[in-house]
């Protein structure tokens, strides 16, 4: 139904994506991006609303008749990475890159706006298009938009992520938990420094840090039901300034991932309990700073099933599937806590060349995925408001 019309504007969708890619903006700094999108939506005849306390842009396509309201969300922010792709449309901003596909999310949703706005007289209801800032960093942009009422009257919400690990022309979602709650922590160990040749006169924070790392892994392997899922990973360990000096302080940083609220609470408690008790055992003072990030992304079954039905029309029955949950985080979770909906992955991995992972300096998507994402948005809208 939409395929031929989308093919006619495919080059335009790609050009939008490349423009965003050349002009990436970090979280909570999406000034140019939001202005470009707002101007485009006004040209398409949408009612446009600007976020009061941020750079979020919302456009409503109000149909000829009253009916349900469906919302689509695209994230706008880039990440602090120096691009190494050598593409003709590579980032013009040093140290900032669209290395996660958000440029494609925006462009494909703009394609849907272009197509659907030309069919306004056939729409029974409202389609809300949410362009959200700051998905990449906590507290994220979703919470602010929700607080300002972006979900008021919305019957269902959907979002997609172009995913380089899935081949072009594929579509995946799942029922229930899909992506994990993502928390972070910092553990500061205050020891007693001294000469490396006389460790008995010190309280070695590196030794204590090692015990903390090892002991917390037992929390996962011995205290969490194997049927449940949880991760405690350490990404940073900093201590010392010289090879023969025992430092007086060590700092550990890491992340905790989980799906159920009960496991999330338990992991936080056990991480803090384990670290503090090891500090007491070795005579060191330990401070644990724990910050809760996004909750788990939990799809609603009915809405996920509708997403698969739309995907079958776009990708074909053999190219869609149920994906296993993964431990990445997404602030789309906040929307799904408030209204029914689903988050979905669209394959954007280019089988013709090496595929680099998300957040890699050489990350790139197969731009053929853009028109497929646009068509899926249109199909979802058709199921709800046509």
Are β-strands 124-132 and 57-62 bridged in parallel, bridged antiparallel, or unpaired?
antiparallel
CA nearest 367: which of 342, 345, 337, 346?
A: 346
Using a 10 angstrom Cβ sphere, with 0-12 exposed, 13-18 middle and 19 or more buried, the burial of residue 332 is buried
Two tokens, residue 7: 């093919």
The DSSP line for 109-165 is HHHHHHHHHTTGGG-EEEEEEEEES--SSTT-SHHHHHHTTTTTT-SEEEEEEEEEE
Sequence-ordered alpha helix ranges (H) in the chain: 3-8, 10-22, 31-43, 102-117, 142-147, 205-223, 261-282, 301-315, 333-338, 368-385
Using a 10 angstrom Cβ sphere, with 0-12 exposed, 13-18 middle and 19 or more buried, the burial of residue 121 is exposed
14-46 burial by CB neighbour count: b if 16+ within 10 A, else e?
Answer: bebbbbbbbbbbbbbbbeebbebbbebbeebeb
Alpha carbons 62 and 47: distance in angstroms, whole number: 8
Is-cis flag, bond preceding 120, omega within 30? no
Alpha carbons 93 and 106: distance in angstroms, whole number: 19
Two tokens, residue 120: 């306004």
C-alpha dihedral sign at 143, 149, 155, 159: negative
Q: Which residues are catalytic?
A: 77, 135
CA distances to 14, 16, 24, 127, 246 from 199, in Å: 62, 61, 50, 67, 7
């Amino acid at each position: 139904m939409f395929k031929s019309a989308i093919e006619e504007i495919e080059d335009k969708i790609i050009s939008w994506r490349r423009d965003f890619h050349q002009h990436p903006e970090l979280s909570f700094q999406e000034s140019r991006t939001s202005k470009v999108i707002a101007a485009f939506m006004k040209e398409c005849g949408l009612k446009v609303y600007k976020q009061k306390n941020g750079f979020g842009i919302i456009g409503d396509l109000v149909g000829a008749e009253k009916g349900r309201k469906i919302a689509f969300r695209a994230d706008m922010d880039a990440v602090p990475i120096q691009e190494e792709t050598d593409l003709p449309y590579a980032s013009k901003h040093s140290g900032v890159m669209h290395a996660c596909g958000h440029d494609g999310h925006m462009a494909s949703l703009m394609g849907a706006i272009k197509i659907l706005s030309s069919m306004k007289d056939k729409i029974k209801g409202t389609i809300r298009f949410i362009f959200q800032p700051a998905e990449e960093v906590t507290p994220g942009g979703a919470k602010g938009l929700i607080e300002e009422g972006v979900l008021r009257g919305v019957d269902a919400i959907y979002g997609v992520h172009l995913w380089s690990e899935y081949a072009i022309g594929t579509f995946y979602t799942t029922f229930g938990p899909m992506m994990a709650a993502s928390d972070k922590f910092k553990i500061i160990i205050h020891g007693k420094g001294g000469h490396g040749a006389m460790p008995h006169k010190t309280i070695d924070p590196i030794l204590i840090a090692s015990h903390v790392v090892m002991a917390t892994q037992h929390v996962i392997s011995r205290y969490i039901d194997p049927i449940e899922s949880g991760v405690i990973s350490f990404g940073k360990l900093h201590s010392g300034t010289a090879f023969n000096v025992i430092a007086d302080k060590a700092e550990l940083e890491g992340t905790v991932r989980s799906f159920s609220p009960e496991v999330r609470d338990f992991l936080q408690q056990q991480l803090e309990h384990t670290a503090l008790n090891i500090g007491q055992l070795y005579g060191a003072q330990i401070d644990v700073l724990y910050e809760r990030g996004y909750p788990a992304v939990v799809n609603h079954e009915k809405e996920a099933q509708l997403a698969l039905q739309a995907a079958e029309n776009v990708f074909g029955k053999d190219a869609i599937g149920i994906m296993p949950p993964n431990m990445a985080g997404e602030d789309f979770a906040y929307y799904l806590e408030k209204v029914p909906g689903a988050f979905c992955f669209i394959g954007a991995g280019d089988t013709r060349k090496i595929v680099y992972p998300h957040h890699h300096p050489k990350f790139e998507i197969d731009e053929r995925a853009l028109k497929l994402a646009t068509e899926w948005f249109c199909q979802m809208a058709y199921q709800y408001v046509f």
